[in-house]
Amino acid sequence: MKRLKNLVFLIVMLLTFVFLIGVHAETSINDVPLVSGSPGTGSTPSPTGDTHTCWFITDYFDYGVQSVTSTSAVIAVGYEAELRTVGPGEPVADYLFTLKYWEDGSSEVHYIDPHLLMSFPARIEKTIANLKPGTKYYYQFHQEPVNSFTTLSNDPKYAVDFKIYNYTGGSTINIIINNLSDAVIKDWKLKWTFNESVQISQLWCGHYTQVGQAVEVTPMAWNTEIAPKSAITLGFSATRPITKPNNINLAMATDPVITPVDVTTLVNANSQFAFDIFKRLNTTETGKNVFISPLSISSALAMLYQGANGDTRAEIANALSYQGIDISVLNSNYQSLLNNLKTVDSFVTLNIGNSIWYKEGLSVKSAFLNTNNDVFGATVKSLDFSKDDAADTINNWIANVTNGKINQMVNPPLEGELYLINAIYFKGDWTEPFNPERTIKSTFNTGTGKTNTVDMMQANNTVEFGKGTDYSAIRLPYGTKKISMYCILPAQSLSIDSFIAGLNVAKFNEIKQSLVSREYFSVKLPKFKMAYGAQSLKTALNTLGMTKAFDSQADFSGITTAPIYVDDVLHKAVIDVNEQGTEAAATTVVTLPTAVQDNFHANRPFVFFLVDDTTGSILFMGKATDLVEY
């Protein structure tokens, strides 16, 4: 019998290296070229007129190691450049030189302060310190345009995104305002709020005012307009490096280019499904940890939903809480939500992607493939499932997008006809990290009555805290506070499983609304790693009313005329919580308070959520009941 299999995984950014340059750090080096290929360009926009004056690099060279000790080395690079003028609308970008170095045989790469080309120094020297005596190292100088850097934030209202470069240890930054729309942006203002004390001392290419941590920038006469599909660069000098911009956006006199889609309908449905599936799974996990990505599961099933018809379609809709939602509204919401999540905060990594793999020879309807491509951005590939390496091809894709967190979900020989893969990966640093020196060994009282030793993180910070008759809760934000972890401790008299049984969307909203800022608040949270699954979701989905999809008479006629059905739905999720932040990944496979004094000391079972606070989407959720040393 043919079966339909569906996998959901997490996406990562991959670090790639273009080439290597060798140096023996303890003795001498080989005199080798810096980089190969044609020279790049750098730019500093002209303060007047309709043209830009740019630095064009005409030559560059490697001076090599200037001095070396057993534990350090000084390496120098130089370049020659000339000023040229380009017309309005021509792309210009500042370039920088970055020094990378790594130990022989190691994949760990270290970066030394990049140098931004905004003037014409003929020579740059960089010091590599803390080298291991007697160890061979390699280094690489690399030049890269600033407009290829990570997005700082975006403003979907005006179809604009922002990119920032602030080289480590320096005080000069560049902000790229990128007009993604087909309309001209006119009479713009840039409003930027810092979440740390920084004073702007100089601005090139614009005027600025600063009051406290709020900065407002207005353009020069020559850059009041940003042409469609083009960008402008603003250069700042500050009293110290700007590492944590809190908010950046445009305000302008013109009408918005894009009206963002209200995703409330989808978020509400997905939240309902999140609590439904979590509570169903928890009923069989007494005394055990549980961790899932409800967004991963619902996204995978939503892709499947596109090809379901009849009663099969109705049951999937009911299980996912999509009943009564028009498919066009659902898809519009999904498209907007997934796009927004990808750029929600540049200080965290949250990447989402999808793919469809189908067996060569299977006739898959183009409407199904096109819809999943348009709405979910799914890559579509056919694969010869009879080949021995077919499973490896899919597993390698999984390992690639999950950064090795989940590296094997299908085994040869492949028996399915179709694999739908949704991938999500999260990694974020706390806005206020825990101090590792304050982490201590402590006791954790498990859900089964035994005690374990854990590594307990501690902090006394300003924290959002709330409590009710049956809970106490805190919010721990990441990055620029757009994604957060919510940790909830049931009252001492209430078991963790009884508390979870009463959780729903309304209760979670009540908990979030109870949070208020508290200064010098004592927080104790265990460091922990958790892996859940691969866990079958078939029984849980059956109890939610999704049964026909697993029957041989399932109606997936929107996918293919072949008689396919869902054999099982598997889910796996992993998480790592430490002083610096959190890393989490998940994969789903569908085979077709009370206390005497207010504090938050998580020395007993608790529930936790990773939530996108801009939309309310629950990305991950879990129960920590049996933790051990990190």
Q: Choose among 271, 610, 586, 612: nearest CA to 424.
A: 586
Count of beta carbons in the 10 Å neighbourhood of residue 500: 22
Q: Determine the residue type at 15.
A: L
What angle separates helix 294-305 from helix 310-319, to the nearest 10 degrees?
Answer: 160
Distance CA 264, CA 217 (A): 33
Residues whose CB falls within 8 Å of the CB of residue 611, separated by 6 or more in sequence, listed in order: 483, 484, 485, 486, 617, 618, 619
> 142: part of which helix (H) or strand (E)?
strand 137-145
Higher-pLDDT residue of 252, 354:
354
Q: How would residue 251 be classed by pLDDT, with cut points 50, 70 and 90? A: low
Mean pLDDT of 417-430: 84
| pLDDT above 70 (res 299) | yes
- What letter does residue 157 receive in the DSSP assignment? G
| pLDDT above 50 (res 618) | yes
**Straight-line distance from the first to the last Cα atom of the chain, in angstroms, rounded to the nearest whole number:** 45
Q: How would residue 46 be classed by pLDDT, with cut points 50, 70 and 90? A: very low
Structure tokens at 580: 């610096």
Mean pLDDT of 137-153: 50
Mean pLDDT of 123-128: 70
Map tokens 């979701």 to a residue.
537
Distances (CA, A) of 40 to 82, 99, 479: 12, 17, 33
**Phi, psi (rounded to 5 degrees) for 81:** -145, 160
Distance CA 108, CA 360 (A): 40
Distance CA 295, CA 270 (A): 7
65-69 long-range Cβ contacts below 8 angstroms, 24+ apart:
65/23, 65/25, 65/28, 65/29, 66/125, 68/25, 68/26, 68/27, 68/28
Alpha carbon 504 to chain centroid, angstroms: 26
Distance CA 83, CA 119 (A): 10
Residues whose CB falls within 8 Å of the CB of residue 363, separated by 6 or more in sequence, listed in order: 560, 561, 562
| List of domains in the chain | 3-11+264-429+529-592 (3.30.497.10), 21-148 (2.60.40), 151-252 (2.60.40.290), 436-527+620-624 (2.30.39.10)
| pLDDT above 70 (res 473) | yes
Q: How would residue 291 be classed by pLDDT, with cut points 50, 70 and 90? A: very high
Map tokens 């540049």 to a residue.
346
Task: Give pLDDT tens digits for 89-99.
Answer: 444 444 555 66
Higher-pLDDT residue of 237, 269:
269
pLDDT of amino acid 11: 23
Contact indicator for 469, 593 with CB cutoff of 8 Å: yes
| pLDDT above 50 (res 153) | no
Mean pLDDT of 504-512: 95
Percentage of the chain exceeding pLDDT 90: 30
pLDDT of amino acid 90: 47
Residues whose CB falls within 8 Å of the CB of residue 458, separated by 6 or more in sequence, listed in order: 434, 435, 438, 439, 440, 522, 523, 524
pLDDT of amino acid 610: 93
Contact indicator for 150, 163 with CB cutoff of 8 Å: yes
Q: What is the pTM of this model?
A: 0.63
Count of beta carbons in the 10 Å neighbourhood of residue 498: 11
**Phi, psi (rounded to 5 degrees) for 111:** -120, 135
